[in-house]
Structure 1
């Protein structure tokens, strides 16, 4: 699990939060009556009119606490999509409760875009004030809570994993709601890393770009523009700045025009997968060049968002505030990854990592 503290930019209360891949049973929620959903207007709902637990009595409800830049949440979506397809017409209602970690995640247009791009067609509540989050005494992204037709919590799972058990509980309830219904076999693992025999190595913990939670290998100036000189060697699990930057509480901003790009953020990490949460602070879009160990990202190691220009340099095109997939390598290694700024619209919030490899023979 990775501890997260929501900053004032995203939440007006101080709380310790977790976004992690570990498979964990929840606090002793099962057996309790599910809290009522706060009374929000239609502007707080996507794909639905406002819902209440009272109105959903008689249905099986899956409450999914998620955040659209959280890599662990994104990895659970194939299962949610399939459960919705399989059981949505048989009484299952999924409610995605979106609690934003970063300021741009509070904007409806950004969540709407993510919902569309991610293929989410179930109701999504914009829980920007973390009201429903607090009613469940939650501290985690993702978290899945099943509520039976009587409004009682019957299953609670934190983090990734546990998909088979969750679907078993869904099927038990669906069978009671639909006597005689034929149900499909429990889903096979969708993600290769969910399959038996997959090996997960120790990954670099999440690296934040703001000074409140950042782990830099050097001192940073807070809330002011500063020039940072290159330094070596680079310690693992640390970030380093070169060039003109402004480090704020929850983000890092590039503050000069860099043409050709030379100002950069360097991280040394141990991982198979590297992602970055980026945002175009001035609107529009901008290009961020990426290299690994001083070379363009190899096609076999590239994350889904990486492209290459005519000269073979690798980059991502940042056109929205979201998580960008930079590296998805088949092997675990100690790597040095650099992001090069090409303008002053560069906004970096965090790096996330994965370190699992498929089972031998897959």
Structure 2
């Protein structure tokens, strides 16, 4: 895209956070970084410390950063959840809530995260999809702003779910659980669409396969616990294991995580304790495992003691 982006592209936002609706005079004549994101995306979470750092480092130089939250899953359309994510990630620049994909379509975007670098005339001078390339991206910003100084990217360090992945040992891909995009399901008998069914976990799980135990309903985007108790398990090879979860219409519910059949101990993620105890209280990405020692093939299992939990996707790092 090397022609001006008409500033009316942002008119399709259903809501604005951290600002009144941005009018065209506020963007005209300014270098702008547009960041497409969705609150459960692990790739966006790991890139966010850099965007946050650029927004603060170059604000006085005239940079305008605009976050565009375009939901991947239906529950992410709830602007209250978007507000929670904005607060949790300490985002202080304008965010357009793009529930109808209007801004997404105006940019002909297809990815989370996606960065578009606009000059003062609204021309996209560069773009980048996914993680990485941080120093080059910052150099693009400096050229657009007409400044030259030490890069802040070299000093950025993510923590918790924002920490960079252990790419050397990462051998497990993102794994969707809803039947629209789900694969590598290992419970005997396969999966039933849109109706409750009792599942069993096989004795052995192959790497990057997952299984259910108990009564679950498989829906397009997620699997939903229909019975009084149930669990899901995944065999993975990575330092980190995350799971996108939502309590649906129910209130907070406890869950427990086991790693290779035992409490995780020092391998617990930020959302569980050493005994594997955690609470599902909002729709977001939960970090279940962070391995502090040798990364190896392991099985993570999460169990709920009451119905209603919705599970969307495993992601790894």
For normalisation by structure 2, the TM-score amounts to 0.91
Question: Secondary structure of the equivalent of 1:345?
Answer: coil
Tell me the CA shift for residue 121 of structure 1.
0.8
Equivalent residue runs for 1:23-102 within 5 Å: 29=1, 31-36=2-7, 37-40=9-12, 44-53=15-24, 55-102=26-73
Question: Secondary structure of the equivalent of 1:295?
Answer: coil
Distance across 1 between alignment mates of 2:51 and 2:227: 43
> 2:71 matched to 1:108?
no
Question: Secondary structure of the equivalent of 2:145?
Answer: helix
Q: Residue 161 of structure 1 contacts residue 194 of structure 1 at CA under 8 Å; is this kept in 2?
A: no
Question: Secondary structure of the equivalent of 2:103?
Answer: helix
Of 272, 292, 298, the residue aligned with 1:306 is 272
Distance across 2 between alignment mates of 1:283 and 1:184: 49
Q: Specify the alignment match of 1:139 in structure 2.
A: 110
Q: Residue 31 of structure 2 contacts residue 63 of structure 2 at CA under 8 Å; is this kept in 1?
A: yes
> 2:146 matched to 1:187?
no
Of 148, 157, 169, the residue aligned with 2:119 is 148
Equivalent residue runs for 1:1-362 within 5 Å: 29=1, 31-36=2-7, 37-40=9-12, 44-53=15-24, 55-175=26-146, 183-191=149-157, 199-215=167-183, 216-218=185-187, 219-258=190-229, 263-299=230-266, 301-308=267-274, 313-330=275-292, 331-354=294-317
Tell me the CA shift for residue 286 of structure 1.
0.7
Distance across 2 between alignment mates of 1:231 and 1:204: 20
Tell me the CA shift for residue 213 of structure 1.
1.3
Gapped runs of 5+ residues in structure 1?
Answer: 1-28, 177-181, 355-362
Tell me the CA shift for residue 134 of structure 1.
1.5
Tell me the CA shift for residue 255 of structure 1.
1.4
Tell me the CA shift for residue 165 of structure 1.
0.8
Distance across 2 between alignment mates of 1:189 and 1:232: 46
Gapped runs of 5+ residues in structure 2?
Answer: none
Q: Residue 19 of structure 2 contacts residue 94 of structure 2 at CA under 8 Å; is this kept in 1?
A: yes
Q: Alignment length, in residue pairs?
A: 308
Distance across 2 between alignment mates of 1:90 and 1:252: 47
For normalisation by structure 1, the TM-score amounts to 0.80
1:146-177 Cα offsets, whole Å, 9 max, x none, are 1011211111111111111111121223236x
Tell me the CA shift for residue 53 of structure 1.
4.9
Distance across 1 between alignment mates of 2:203 and 2:172: 19
Q: Residue 53 of structure 1 contacts residue 151 of structure 1 at CA under 8 Å; is this kept in 2?
A: no
Q: Which has the higher helix share?
A: 2
1:33-53 Cα offsets, whole Å, 9 max, x none, are 124324247x51111111245
